[in-house]
Structure 1
Amino acid sequence: MEIAIDRERFKFFIRVGGAYLLLQVFVDLVSHPETFLKRVVNNCWLVGYLIVINFLFYEYVLPFIKLTWKRIIAAPFILSANLFLYSFGFYFWRYIGIQSGIYFPLKVYPSALEGISNHFPYSAFSIIFFGIIRYSYDYRKLKEAAQQLRIEKQEAELNYLKSQTNPHFLFNTLNNIYSLARDKSDLAPESILRLSQILRFMLYETSGAYIRIEQELKIMADYIALEKLRYDESLSVDFKHDIDDMSQALPPLLLMPLVENAFKHGVSETRDHPFVDIHLSVNKQLLAFLVRNSTEEFLDELPVKENIGLSNLRRQLELLYTDFNLSVQQGDSTFTATLTINLASHV
């Protein structure tokens, strides 16, 4: 059976071995400065063996034991074999270095057993050293992978919500033009022109993660103007803004669902004195957006049921910001939506 070797993983163990070698070199520099250079050569020879044996132990032996209960039964024998490699094998590796003229025998041992006993702590410490660094490294990589997966999942969900919001916005606009065309209104050509401006914005400006807030204001103004074409002078629209920095970044069409909601579910269902009040302020990255519109009177005090536009907006805000508040309130003949965002809290 052929065993595939993960080269990237082996390179990681080489780097850990390099750190282990530096530690031993520092200890020898402090403890044995008179034989420092020879000990550096000896450590290079010994660490080469430890890199291989620790790589095999952590990457193959331990995973092999964890696979099935039958292998767990064989674990004592497998671990004993590794103990042999860390003790007798390590000392035998030293002997090979001496015979090859690579290793300097700075100390002569009366017996092999004494030599093994003297070198075993050196190899045993490598198990702890390699193990701590390996598991710390794997834990960090696992956290990074989990974080990346979470980010990718959020981005996928956010893109899905945007894919729902943008057509929703477009369909509402087309419905407005359809109403004008059905009534054979002279305002239909102007409405088509404004629609083309909105489409141009959606095609070329909303693909990125951010737009300037002045662009959001422009598309909002175009949409309001398009909506006003459907109504006579009875509709009152008060659109105000107070922004300290027009270049402030904002996700595209983030505020539009509240404006759409005011016209589609408010003004269009109001028979007498329809109105929409919109006020946007941004001061020191604190955004406050208020949309208040007329509605028919509600006699029953029921909880406000959010439509798909408001629900999608709320979920987008949860994915985009950590500090925000979206509240809606149904009055006797008014509906008020209030949104505050700390733009600095962007995820």
Structure 2
Amino acid sequence: MQLINNFEQLVNGVTLSGTISVFLTMNADLQRLYKYKVHHILAWIGYFAFFMTMYRAYYTSLLPLFGVTSVYFAFNASSFYIIGYYLIPKFLYTRKYSKFFWSVLGLLIVESVGLAIFMYYTFMSTSKEYADKPYMAIFMAFFSIITIAGIMCSIKLVVDKIGLDRSAKLIEQQRIESELQYLKAQVNPHFLFNAINSIYFLIKKDQDQAANTLIRLSDLLRFQLYDCTGEKIAIEKEIEYLRNFVSLEEIRKGNKTKVEFNTAENLQGFELAPFMLIPFLENTFKYVSNFSGTENKIIIKMWCEENVFHAHFFNTTDNLVRTSPGGIGHKNVKRRLELIYPEKHVLNIVERPGTYKVMLSLNVA
């Protein structure tokens, strides 16, 4: 029953991951057989040593014993390689169970009868076993072939399953890395698009301020180019980047918006994935209210407590303008959180009339 379950798991794995079916083709199996030929040679040497030791008492000399063991080896090995490297990939892995069963049964019968006949007429005069009990020839042949082929094919199935799992994990890891690179690549254009919009509106108001803003933008892009190429970035650098971004936005917003950026003193000594916080910060400035008689406010708070990093982003909103939390930036960062911090993050977004708040917690242990 356990062996059948292993078969099902292996077949199910093939069905769920067609991209790794190369491991289940006869051509790939033959390539692996050549690659691991030393393992097979050692296994068959162990086979010879075991059976020559076990059956030494039945033979008058070593030469006939070696001959009998060699013949058994030929039939057992041929059965194993035909089943393991032809019938299993051709029928079992393709869910053709009936063809697999009858093919294996037919092969075992043919191999057993052939081995029994060969052994009986060749070694009858030198083997007490065959001379005294000729009817045992077929039984011994069938038992030997089904035992050796069964054990070795079971080992092959286990090895195939392990290789399949490793390949699936490798492919999944490569897929995640590719997706992360794609999402990270989208962050820069998204940020640049917003920054250029800010400078565009600022040019109409104050060209000198626009020039200073371009310089700050240049610093931010330089930071992205040289400091954010790795998988993680020090929290100190990330906060510095955020503060520069806030400074750039404050130039555009002027005195109409009150900005509070508070960070705890213990925010040091750990790393975050780069560009994880900037989409939320962008969102606060993009959708902050623009009232003339009421205070427009943005509040950013960051602190670390018991190896959990907390970042809160709050902004007042114009009730006539929806904050659209499902924009490109938010979608990207949500997906990156799922990939980089699976089950290690909590993201809550609370939207109420007149206010919008994002609360992010990351386990940075």
Q: What range is the shorter-chain TM-score in?
A: 0.7 to 0.9
Specify the alignment match of 2:8 in structure 1: none
For 1:1-347, list aligned pairs within 5 A: 6-9=30-33, 12=36, 15=39, 18-19=42-43, 22=46, 45=70, 46-47=72-73, 50-64=76-90, 76=102, 79-89=105-115, 92=118, 107-110=128-131, 113-242=135-264, 244=266, 246-267=268-289, 269-271=290-292, 272-297=294-319, 305-321=325-341, 322-344=343-365
Cα deviation digits, residues 60-109 of structure 1 (max 9, x gap):
2344557999997798577424432245337748998x8xxxxxx67552
Quick check: 2:315–2:355 contact (8 Å CA) kept in 1?
yes
Q: 2 CA distance for matches of 1:73 and 1:242?
A: 69
Cα deviation digits, residues 139-193 of structure 1 (max 9, x gap):
2222222223333333333222222222111111122222222223322222111
Quick check: 2:315–2:357 contact (8 Å CA) kept in 1?
yes
Q: CA deviation at 1:253?
A: 0.7
1:289–1:23 CA distance, 2 compared to 1 (3 A):
farther
Q: CA deviation at 1:229?
A: 0.9
In percent, how many aligned pairs have the same letter? 24
Q: 2 CA distance for matches of 1:68 and 1:220?
A: 55
Specify the alignment match of 1:101 in structure 2: none
SS in 1 for 2:259: strand
Q: 1 CA distance for matches of 2:304 and 2:142?
A: 68
Quick check: 2:297–2:316 contact (8 Å CA) kept in 1?
yes
Q: Structure 2: which 5+ residue stretches go unaligned?
A: 1-25
1:55–1:152 CA distance, 2 compared to 1 (3 A):
same
Q: 2 CA distance for matches of 1:190 and 1:289?
A: 29
Name the Cα RMSD after superposition: 4.1
Q: 2 CA distance for matches of 1:263 and 1:152?
A: 35
SS in 2 for 1:85: helix
**TM-score when normalising by structure 2:** 0.74
Quick check: 2:79–2:149 contact (8 Å CA) kept in 1?
no
Q: 2 CA distance for matches of 1:69 and 1:119?
A: 29
**TM-score when normalising by structure 1:** 0.78
Q: 1 CA distance for matches of 2:93 and 2:356?
A: 62
Quick check: 2:259–2:299 contact (8 Å CA) kept in 1?
yes
SS in 2 for 1:186: helix
SS in 2 for 1:231: helix
SS in 1 for 2:348: strand
Quick check: 1:13–1:51 contact (8 Å CA) kept in 2?
no
Q: CA deviation at 1:223?
A: 0.3
Q: CA deviation at 1:315?
A: 1.7
Q: 2 CA distance for matches of 1:43 and 1:280?
A: 79
Letter of the aligned partner of 2:349 in structure 1?
A: V
Specify the alignment match of 1:102 in structure 2: none
Q: How many residues align?
A: 331
Q: 1 CA distance for matches of 2:80 and 2:200?
A: 74
Quick check: 2:284–2:315 contact (8 Å CA) kept in 1?
yes
Quick check: 1:10–1:55 contact (8 Å CA) kept in 2?
no
Q: 2 CA distance for matches of 1:119 and 1:198?
A: 78
1:189–1:90 CA distance, 2 compared to 1 (3 A):
farther
Q: 1 CA distance for matches of 2:197 and 2:230?
A: 27
Q: CA deviation at 1:266?
A: 1.3
Q: 2 CA distance for matches of 1:215 and 1:134?
A: 51
Q: Structure 1: which 5+ residue stretches go unaligned?
A: 99-104
Q: 2 CA distance for matches of 1:156 and 1:289?
A: 27
Letter of the aligned partner of 1:207 in structure 2?
A: T
